[in-house]
Copies of this chain bind each other. A is one copy, B any other.
Amino acid sequence: MEEATDKTLMQTWLDSLQSSGYRITGARRAVVEVMAGSKFICNPMEIYLQAVKRHPGLGLVTVYRTLDKLEELELVERVHLSKDCHSYIAAAEGHQHLIICTRCNRAEHFSGDDLSPLMSDLGTNRGFTVEDHWLQLFGICDACRQAAAEEGK
């Protein structure tokens, strides 16, 4: 579940926080490092458990507060699952969709810009003026499929 940290993305996020008037603190660094480096969706407690290793003394409350700011700056986005609706992932540029592995929670963005006309049509047929659409795919990622195949042998 550990990921190599993407230094560049992390620095981008810190710059974004700073240029919005927020201060850079150890606590925020730790949360940013976890979120910018993760390919997996994670909830506040999971983020806290990762981040507190990097910044001992970190409080769960600060994780919530930092997530609020990162969400406000559109650096992270909330992910909705059928049960848990309080997980987060690094946001994508512009309007993208998510595909989520139901085994390991890995998530990847993909753009479906070509879907917009189709979505408009689907709405128009029902008398709706479509303003937005929300699409998520669920499945098994490569790594999990291979792991399952190994076990099956």
Binding site for B on A (CB under 8 A): 78, 80, 82, 85, 97, 99, 101-102, 108, 110, 112, 119, 122-123, 125-142, 145
Contact A128 B141 (CB under 8 A): yes
Q: How many copies does the complex hold?
A: 2
Contact B85 A99 (CB under 8 A): no
Taken together as a complex, chains A and B put the C-alpha atoms of A13 and B62 apart, in Å, by 46
The majority secondary structure among interface residues of chain A is strand
- A139 to chain B minimum Cβ distance, whole angstroms, is 4
Contact A130 B99 (CB under 8 A): yes
Q: A80-B80, A110-B125, A125-B110 are in contact. Are A131 and B145 (CB under 8 A)?
A: no
A99-B126, A130-B138, A132-B139 given; 15 more Cβ-contact pairs under 8 Å:
A80-B85, A97-B122, A99-B128, A110-B125, A110-B126, A123-B139, A127-B141, A128-B139, A132-B138, A133-B136, A133-B138, A134-B136, A134-B137, A134-B138, A135-B135
Nearest B residue to A128, CB-CB: B139
Residues of B within 8 A of A133 (CB): 135-138
Contact A140 B112 (CB under 8 A): no
- A38 to chain B minimum Cβ distance, whole angstroms, is 17
- A140 to chain B minimum Cβ distance, whole angstroms, is 5
Residues of B within 8 A of A82 (CB): 78
Q: A108-B126, A122-B110, A125-B110 are in contact. Are A134 and B135 (CB under 8 A)?
A: yes
Taken together as a complex, chains A and B put the C-alpha atoms of A62 and B99 apart, in Å, by 36
